[in-house]
Amino acid sequence: MLSINNIGVSFGGVRALNEVTFETPESGITALIGPNGAGKTTLFNAITGFVDPTDGNVSFDGENITGNVPENVFMHGISRTFQNLNIIPELTLRQNMYLGFIGKEKPSALKTITGMNRGYWKSAEERIDECMEFVNVTDYAEMTPDSIPYGVLKNFELARAILSKPKMLLLDEPAAGLNLTEKENLAEMVQKIYSKGVSILMVEHDMQFISSLAEYVVCLNFGEVIGKGTYQEVRENKEVLRAYLGDDD
Protein backbone atom coordinates (compact mmCIF):
# COMPACT_ATOMS: atom_id res chain seq x y z
CA MET A 1 0.00 0.00 0.00
CA LEU A 2 2.72 2.49 1.02
CA SER A 3 5.99 2.30 -0.90
CA ILE A 4 9.10 4.18 0.27
CA ASN A 5 11.70 4.22 -2.50
CA ASN A 6 15.26 5.41 -1.78
CA ILE A 7 14.04 8.37 0.25
CA GLY A 8 16.71 10.82 1.33
CA VAL A 9 16.28 13.98 3.40
CA SER A 10 19.00 16.53 4.08
CA PHE A 11 18.91 19.57 6.34
CA GLY A 12 21.79 21.73 5.21
CA GLY A 13 24.82 19.48 5.51
CA VAL A 14 23.08 16.94 7.75
CA ARG A 15 21.79 13.77 6.10
CA ALA A 16 18.73 12.79 8.16
CA LEU A 17 17.57 9.96 5.87
CA ASN A 18 19.60 8.03 3.31
CA GLU A 19 18.16 5.67 0.68
CA VAL A 20 15.32 4.47 2.91
CA THR A 21 13.36 1.77 1.10
CA PHE A 22 10.54 -0.50 2.25
CA GLU A 23 6.90 -1.34 1.53
CA THR A 24 4.10 -1.84 4.00
CA PRO A 25 1.83 -4.85 3.55
CA GLU A 26 -1.38 -4.27 1.59
CA SER A 27 -3.24 -4.61 4.86
CA GLY A 28 -1.62 -4.77 8.27
CA ILE A 29 0.15 -3.04 11.14
CA THR A 30 3.75 -1.99 10.52
CA ALA A 31 6.11 -0.65 13.19
CA LEU A 32 8.98 1.74 12.53
CA ILE A 33 11.58 1.48 15.29
CA GLY A 34 15.06 2.78 16.06
CA PRO A 35 17.02 4.78 18.62
CA ASN A 36 16.44 8.50 19.19
CA GLY A 37 17.59 10.54 16.22
CA ALA A 38 17.33 7.61 13.81
CA GLY A 39 15.08 9.58 11.45
CA LYS A 40 11.70 8.01 12.21
CA THR A 41 9.67 11.21 12.62
CA THR A 42 11.55 12.79 9.69
CA LEU A 43 10.34 9.90 7.54
CA PHE A 44 6.76 10.42 8.76
CA ASN A 45 7.10 14.10 7.85
CA ALA A 46 8.43 13.20 4.40
CA ILE A 47 5.49 10.85 3.81
CA THR A 48 2.88 13.36 4.95
CA GLY A 49 4.26 16.44 3.20
CA PHE A 50 5.73 18.33 6.14
CA VAL A 51 9.25 17.79 4.74
CA ASP A 52 10.31 17.62 1.09
CA PRO A 53 12.55 14.63 0.32
CA THR A 54 15.92 15.50 -1.17
CA ASP A 55 15.68 12.41 -3.35
CA GLY A 56 13.62 9.25 -3.84
CA ASN A 57 9.84 8.99 -3.92
CA VAL A 58 6.81 7.95 -1.89
CA SER A 59 3.92 6.06 -3.48
CA PHE A 60 0.55 5.32 -1.93
CA ASP A 61 -1.98 3.02 -3.56
CA GLY A 62 0.16 3.07 -6.68
CA GLU A 63 0.23 6.87 -6.96
CA ASN A 64 3.30 9.05 -6.49
CA ILE A 65 2.64 11.48 -3.61
CA THR A 66 6.22 12.74 -3.21
CA GLY A 67 6.37 16.42 -2.31
CA ASN A 68 2.59 16.79 -1.93
CA VAL A 69 1.52 19.32 0.69
CA PRO A 70 -0.06 17.78 3.84
CA GLU A 71 -3.58 18.68 2.69
CA ASN A 72 -3.15 16.70 -0.53
CA VAL A 73 -1.64 13.72 1.28
CA PHE A 74 -4.67 13.82 3.59
CA MET A 75 -6.97 13.84 0.55
CA HIS A 76 -5.29 10.66 -0.71
CA GLY A 77 -6.42 8.87 2.44
CA ILE A 78 -3.47 9.15 4.84
CA SER A 79 -4.13 10.51 8.31
CA ARG A 80 -1.66 10.87 11.19
CA THR A 81 -1.15 11.67 14.84
CA PHE A 82 1.82 13.60 16.21
CA GLN A 83 4.51 12.84 18.78
CA ASN A 84 3.21 15.73 20.89
CA LEU A 85 -0.52 16.18 21.37
CA ASN A 86 -1.77 18.46 18.60
CA ILE A 87 -4.96 19.65 20.31
CA ILE A 88 -6.19 23.24 20.53
CA PRO A 89 -6.40 23.87 24.31
CA GLU A 90 -9.12 26.55 24.13
CA LEU A 91 -11.59 24.21 22.39
CA THR A 92 -13.56 21.30 23.80
CA LEU A 93 -12.82 17.82 22.47
CA ARG A 94 -15.97 17.95 20.36
CA GLN A 95 -14.92 21.27 18.82
CA ASN A 96 -11.43 19.88 18.17
CA MET A 97 -13.01 16.94 16.36
CA TYR A 98 -14.36 19.17 13.59
CA LEU A 99 -10.77 19.88 12.55
CA GLY A 100 -10.42 16.21 11.62
CA PHE A 101 -12.52 16.39 8.49
CA ILE A 102 -13.33 19.99 7.48
CA GLY A 103 -10.13 20.20 5.42
CA LYS A 104 -11.17 17.10 3.47
CA GLU A 105 -14.91 17.66 3.14
CA LYS A 106 -14.76 21.42 2.41
CA PRO A 107 -18.39 22.24 3.32
CA SER A 108 -19.80 25.31 1.59
CA ALA A 109 -19.64 28.37 3.86
CA LEU A 110 -22.46 30.04 1.91
CA LYS A 111 -24.77 27.03 2.28
CA THR A 112 -23.93 26.87 5.99
CA ILE A 113 -24.78 30.56 6.50
CA THR A 114 -28.08 30.21 4.60
CA GLY A 115 -29.06 27.03 6.43
CA MET A 116 -28.83 24.81 3.35
CA ASN A 117 -26.12 22.63 4.90
CA ARG A 118 -28.15 21.31 7.83
CA GLY A 119 -28.05 17.74 6.54
CA TYR A 120 -24.27 17.91 6.16
CA TRP A 121 -23.67 19.17 9.70
CA LYS A 122 -26.11 16.65 11.19
CA SER A 123 -24.18 13.89 9.44
CA ALA A 124 -20.90 15.40 10.68
CA GLU A 125 -22.14 15.45 14.27
CA GLU A 126 -23.22 11.82 14.01
CA ARG A 127 -19.80 10.86 12.65
CA ILE A 128 -18.09 12.74 15.50
CA ASP A 129 -20.25 10.97 18.08
CA GLU A 130 -19.48 7.63 16.44
CA CYS A 131 -15.70 8.15 16.52
CA MET A 132 -15.63 9.47 20.08
CA GLU A 133 -17.68 6.50 21.26
CA PHE A 134 -15.39 4.16 19.30
CA VAL A 135 -12.38 5.20 21.43
CA ASN A 136 -14.33 5.68 24.68
CA VAL A 137 -13.94 9.45 25.10
CA THR A 138 -17.62 10.44 24.84
CA ASP A 139 -17.81 11.40 28.54
CA TYR A 140 -15.15 14.09 27.93
CA ALA A 141 -16.69 15.58 24.77
CA GLU A 142 -17.63 18.96 26.25
CA MET A 143 -14.45 19.38 28.29
CA THR A 144 -11.28 21.26 27.35
CA PRO A 145 -7.94 19.37 27.23
CA ASP A 146 -6.52 20.93 30.41
CA SER A 147 -9.05 19.04 32.53
CA ILE A 148 -8.71 15.66 30.82
CA PRO A 149 -6.28 12.81 31.69
CA TYR A 150 -3.36 12.37 29.30
CA GLY A 151 -4.34 8.79 28.40
CA VAL A 152 -7.80 9.97 27.35
CA LEU A 153 -6.26 12.67 25.15
CA LYS A 154 -4.10 10.05 23.41
CA ASN A 155 -7.26 8.07 22.63
CA PHE A 156 -8.93 11.26 21.45
CA GLU A 157 -6.14 11.79 18.90
CA LEU A 158 -7.06 8.42 17.44
CA ALA A 159 -10.71 9.46 17.21
CA ARG A 160 -9.86 12.63 15.31
CA ALA A 161 -7.43 10.80 13.02
CA ILE A 162 -10.03 8.23 11.91
CA LEU A 163 -12.82 10.80 11.48
CA SER A 164 -12.04 11.18 7.77
CA LYS A 165 -12.15 7.39 7.23
CA PRO A 166 -8.51 7.11 6.10
CA LYS A 167 -7.05 4.17 4.23
CA MET A 168 -3.85 4.41 6.28
CA LEU A 169 -3.16 5.82 9.73
CA LEU A 170 0.32 6.96 10.80
CA LEU A 171 0.84 6.94 14.57
CA ASP A 172 3.87 8.81 15.94
CA GLU A 173 4.82 7.26 19.30
CA PRO A 174 1.22 6.54 20.38
CA ALA A 175 2.22 4.80 23.63
CA ALA A 176 4.65 7.48 24.85
CA GLY A 177 3.84 8.69 28.36
CA LEU A 178 1.19 6.04 29.04
CA ASN A 179 1.10 3.64 31.98
CA LEU A 180 0.68 -0.11 31.52
CA THR A 181 -3.12 -0.07 31.72
CA GLU A 182 -3.36 2.83 29.28
CA LYS A 183 -1.03 1.02 26.87
CA GLU A 184 -3.22 -2.07 27.01
CA ASN A 185 -6.29 0.06 26.27
CA LEU A 186 -4.45 1.77 23.42
CA ALA A 187 -3.42 -1.58 21.91
CA GLU A 188 -7.08 -2.59 21.89
CA MET A 189 -7.99 0.67 20.13
CA VAL A 190 -5.32 0.16 17.48
CA GLN A 191 -6.56 -3.38 16.86
CA LYS A 192 -10.13 -2.11 16.58
CA ILE A 193 -9.11 0.51 14.03
CA TYR A 194 -7.19 -2.09 12.01
CA SER A 195 -10.22 -4.42 12.12
CA LYS A 196 -12.18 -1.68 10.32
CA GLY A 197 -9.86 -2.01 7.31
CA VAL A 198 -7.38 0.78 8.12
CA SER A 199 -3.70 -0.03 7.55
CA ILE A 200 -1.38 1.32 10.24
CA LEU A 201 2.23 2.49 10.29
CA MET A 202 3.49 3.48 13.72
CA VAL A 203 6.68 4.87 15.20
CA GLU A 204 7.16 3.35 18.64
CA HIS A 205 9.93 2.68 21.18
CA ASP A 206 8.06 0.25 23.41
CA MET A 207 9.05 -3.18 22.06
CA GLN A 208 6.50 -5.02 24.18
CA PHE A 209 3.74 -2.81 22.79
CA ILE A 210 4.99 -3.47 19.26
CA SER A 211 5.24 -7.23 19.78
CA SER A 212 1.52 -7.48 20.49
CA LEU A 213 0.51 -5.56 17.38
CA ALA A 214 2.99 -5.29 14.52
CA GLU A 215 3.05 -7.88 11.76
CA TYR A 216 5.99 -6.17 10.03
CA VAL A 217 8.83 -4.14 11.55
CA VAL A 218 11.35 -1.75 9.98
CA CYS A 219 14.36 -0.51 11.98
CA LEU A 220 16.20 2.73 11.21
CA ASN A 221 19.56 3.86 12.55
CA PHE A 222 21.35 7.05 11.52
CA GLY A 223 18.76 7.53 8.78
CA GLU A 224 19.23 4.11 7.15
CA VAL A 225 17.26 0.87 7.22
CA ILE A 226 19.28 -1.73 9.12
CA GLY A 227 16.61 -4.41 9.47
CA LYS A 228 13.10 -5.31 8.33
CA GLY A 229 10.83 -8.32 8.58
CA THR A 230 8.60 -9.90 11.19
CA TYR A 231 8.95 -8.79 14.80
CA GLN A 232 10.89 -11.94 15.65
CA GLU A 233 13.24 -11.56 12.67
CA VAL A 234 14.03 -7.97 13.57
CA ARG A 235 14.31 -8.80 17.27
CA GLU A 236 17.00 -11.37 16.46
CA ASN A 237 18.90 -9.15 14.01
CA LYS A 238 22.34 -8.51 15.54
CA GLU A 239 22.73 -5.09 13.93
CA VAL A 240 19.33 -4.04 15.28
CA LEU A 241 20.23 -5.31 18.75
CA ARG A 242 23.45 -3.33 18.75
CA ALA A 243 21.81 -0.14 17.49
CA TYR A 244 18.47 -0.24 19.25
CA LEU A 245 19.20 -2.15 22.43
CA GLY A 246 22.90 -1.38 22.77
CA ASP A 247 24.05 -5.01 22.85
CA ASP A 248 23.61 -8.09 20.69
CA ASP A 249 23.64 -10.54 23.63
Let me know: does 80 contact 169? Beta carbons within 8 Å: yes
CATH number of 1-77+166-249: 3.40.50.300
pLDDT in tens, 100-120: 665 555 555 444 444 556 666
pLDDT in tens, 126-155: 889 999 999 999 999 999 999 999 989 989
Provide the b/e sequence for 111-132 (b: ≥16 CB within 10 Å).
Answer: eeeeeebeeeeeebeebbeebb
Provide the b/e sequence for 157-193 (b: ≥16 CB within 10 Å).
Answer: bbbbbbbbebbbbbbbbbbeebeeebbebbbebbeeb
Average pLDDT over residues 159-188: 90
Separation CA 197–CA 58 (nearest Å): 21
Tell me 51's DSSP state: S
Domain segments of the chain: what residues? Answer: 1-77+166-249, 88-163
Strands 78-80 and 29-33: unpaired
- pLDDT at residue 83 tops 90: no
Separation CA 159–CA 166 (nearest Å): 12
* pTM of the model as a whole: 0.85
